Amino acid sequence: MVKRRVKFTFPPELIKEPIIYKLGQRFKVITNIRRADINGDKGWVVLELEGKGEDIERGIAWVTGKGVRVDPAIGDIVEG
């Protein structure tokens, strides 16, 4: 089992979809929300994902495919 700390940024059209719930159900990934800010326009959620490495990777690929931006929780790691 591995853990990943990530930030999901949702576009307006996905705000109402239960994406985090589906991520947990479909990919056997435990989702643990730590911080979030969601309004009618846009939203972000900082959470920890726990599961098998390959399940987390498949889950992140699915979330990204839905149109959610996925970043490391810390922000960009690449710097100038």
The binding site for other proteins (CB under 8 A) comprises 2-5, 7, 9, 34-35, 37, 42, 44, 46, 48, 69, 71-80
Looking at the Cβ atoms of 12 and 17, the one nearer to other proteins is 12
Looking at the Cβ atoms of 26 and 34, the one nearer to other proteins is 34
User: CB–CB of 16/10 below 8 Å?
Assistant: no
State the Cα–Cα distance between residues 39 and 23, nearest whole angstrom. Answer: 21
What is the smallest separation between the CB atom of 46 and other proteins, expressed in angstroms?
Answer: 5
What is the smallest separation between the CB atom of 47 and other proteins, expressed in angstroms?
Answer: 8
State the Cα–Cα distance between residues 55 and 77, nearest whole angstrom. Answer: 23
Query: Closest Cα to residue 33, out of 15, 25, 23, 45?
Result: 45
Looking at the Cβ atoms of 16 and 77, the one nearer to other proteins is 77
